[in-house]
Structure 1
Amino acid sequence: MKNIGTILATSLLSGVVTLGSYKLFFEDTNYFENAKEITTSAPFRNVNNSVFEAPNFKLAAEKTIHSVVHVKNVSFRNAPRNPIMEYFYGYQGGGQTYAQVGTGSGVIISEDGYIITNNHVIQGASELEITLNDNRTFKAKLIGTDSKMDIALLKINTSEKLPFTTFADSDAISVGDWVLAVGNPYNLTSTVTAGIVSAKARNLSENGIQSFIQTDAAVNPGNSGGALVNSNGDLIGINTMISSATGSYVGYSFAIPSNLARKIVNDLMEYGKVQQGILGVQGYEVNSQIAAENKLTFKQGFYVENVTKNSGAEAAGIKKGDIIYKIDGKGINSFLDLNSIIATKRPNDEVKVSLKRNNQDKELVVKLSKKEIAQIQFNGFEIENLSPKEQKALGINYGVKINGISNERFKAYESELKNAIILAVNGSKIKNTEHANEILSKLNQEQLRMDLITPRGERLRLIL
Structure 2
Amino acid sequence: MSRVKTNVMLMLAALVAAFWSQVAAAQLPDFTDLVEENSSAVVNISTTTEPQNRSSGFHGSPFDERQLEQLPPFLQEFFRGPQSPFGDSPHSRQQPRRSMGSGFIVSADGYVLTNNHVVEGADEVMVRLSDRREFSATIVGTDPRSDMAVLKIENGDDLPVVRIGRSRDLEVGEWVFAIGSPFGFDYTVTAGIVSALGRSLPSENYVPFIQTDVAINPGNSGGPLFNLDGEVVGINSQIYTRSGGFMGVSFAIPIDDAMNVFRQLRDDGAVSRGWLGVLIQEVSRDLAETFGLDRPRGALIAEVMEGSPAAEGGLRSGDIVLEFDGAPVDTSADLPPMVGRTPVGETVPLTVLREGREITLNVEIGQLPEDDERSPAVSGRDQGDSAGNPLGLTVEPLPEDAARSLGIDGGVVVTDIDRGPAYQAGIRVRDVITELNRRPVTSLAEFREAVERLPDDRAVSVRIIREGRASYLVMRP
The answer to whether TM tops 0.5 is yes
Query: For 1:98, what is the secondary structure of its paired residue?
Result: coil
How much does 1:95 deviate?
A: 2.2
- Aligned partners of 2:403 and 2:296: how far apart in 1? 41
Unpaired runs of 5+ in structure 2? 1-18, 59-76, 380-395, 408-426, 429-460, 470-477
In structure 2, what is the Cα distance between the partners aligned to 1:154 and 1:70?
12
Partner of 1:279: 276
Match of 2:266 in 1: 269
Partner secondary structure for residue 203 of structure 1:
strand
CA contact (8 A) 2:146 2:204 kept: no
The change in CA–CA distance for 1:400 and 1:190 in structure 2 (over 3 A counts) is same
Aligned match of 2:440: none
Q: Which consecutive residues of structure 1, in runs of 5 or more, have no partner in the other structure?
A: 1-47, 375-383, 387-398, 420-425, 428-443, 453-464
Question: 2:400 — aligned with what?
Answer: 412
Q: Aligned letter for 2:200?
A: N
Map of 1:436 onto structure 2: none
Query: Structure 2 counterpart of 1:160, which letter?
Result: D
SS at match of 1:121: helix
Task: Tell me how far 1:290 sits from its aligned partner.
Answer: 2.2
Q: Taking every aligned residue pair, what percent have the same amino acid on both sides? A: 31
Per-residue CA deviations over 1:123-177 (Å, capped at 9, x if unaligned) read 2211100011211111100111112321111101335222222433322212101
Aligned to 1:9: none
Q: What letter is aligned with 1:261?
A: A
Match of 1:450 in 2: 467
Q: Please, what TM-score do these two structures have when normalized by structure 1?
A: 0.66
Q: Secondary structure at the match of 1:212?
A: strand
Amino acid at match of 2:30: N
Q: Displacement, 1:332?
A: 1.5
User: What's the C-alpha RMSD, in Å, of the aligned pairs?
Assistant: 3.7
Query: Whole-Å Cα distance in 1 between the matches of residues 291 and 201 of structure 2?
Result: 31
Residue in structure 1 matching 2:248, options 223, 248, 251: 251
CA distance in structure 2 between the aligned counterparts of 1:90 and 1:165, rounded to whole angstroms: 52
In the other structure, the counterpart of 2:454 is none
How far off its partner does 1:412 sit? 1.7
**2:113: which partner in 1?**
116
- Tell me the CA shift for residue 103 of structure 1: 0.7
The Cα shift of 1:105 comes to 0.3
- Separation in structure 2 between the aligned mates of residue 193 and residue 296 of structure 1, nearest angstrom: 44
Give the alignment of 1:341-352 within 5 angstroms. 341-352=338-349
SS class of match (2:183): helix
After TM superposition, give the deviation of residue 365 of structure 1 in Å.
4.7
Aligned counterpart, 1:171: 168
Q: TM-score, normalised by structure 2?
A: 0.65
**Are the counterparts in 2 of residues 78 and 97 from structure 1 also a CA contact under 8 Å?**
no
Pick aligned residue for 2:188 from 188, 191, 194: 191
Report the counterpart of residue 291 of structure 2 in structure 1: 294
Separation in 2, partners of 1:71, 1:90: 35
Partner deviation per Cα, 1:318-364 (whole Å, 9 max, x = no partner): 45554322334443133321012223234224445344455555555
Separation in 2, partners of 1:445, 1:337: 24
Partner of 1:60: 34
Shift of 1:283: 3.4
Q: 1:225 to 1:317 in 2, by over 3 A?
A: same
Indicate if the aligned counterparts of 2:110 and 2:156 stay in contact, CA closer than 8 A.
no
Compared with structure 1, are the counterparts of its residues 373 and 272 closer, same or farther at alpha carbon in structure 2 (3 Å cutoff)? closer
Aligned residue number for residue 105 of structure 1: 102
Partner of 1:202: 199
Tell me the residue number matched to 1:27. Answer: none
Q: Aligned partners of 1:211 and 1:185: how far apart in 2?
A: 24
Between the aligned partners of 1:175 and 1:195, the Cα distance in structure 2 is 11
Are the counterparts in 1 of residues 298 and 331 from structure 2 also a CA contact under 8 Å? yes
Give the 5 Å matches for 1:128-167: 128-158=125-155, 160-167=157-164
Q: 1:123 and 1:446, CA in 2 relative to 1: closer, same or farther beyond 3 A?
A: same
Structure with the greater alpha carbon radius of gyration: 1
Report the CA distance shift for 1:357/1:168 in structure 2 as closer, same or farther (over 3 A): farther
Q: 1:72 aligns with which of 46, 61, 70?
A: 46
Q: CA deviation at 1:236?
A: 1.6
Rounded Cα–Cα distance in structure 2 between residues aligned with 1:230 and 1:336: 25
Q: How many equivalent pairs are there?
A: 358
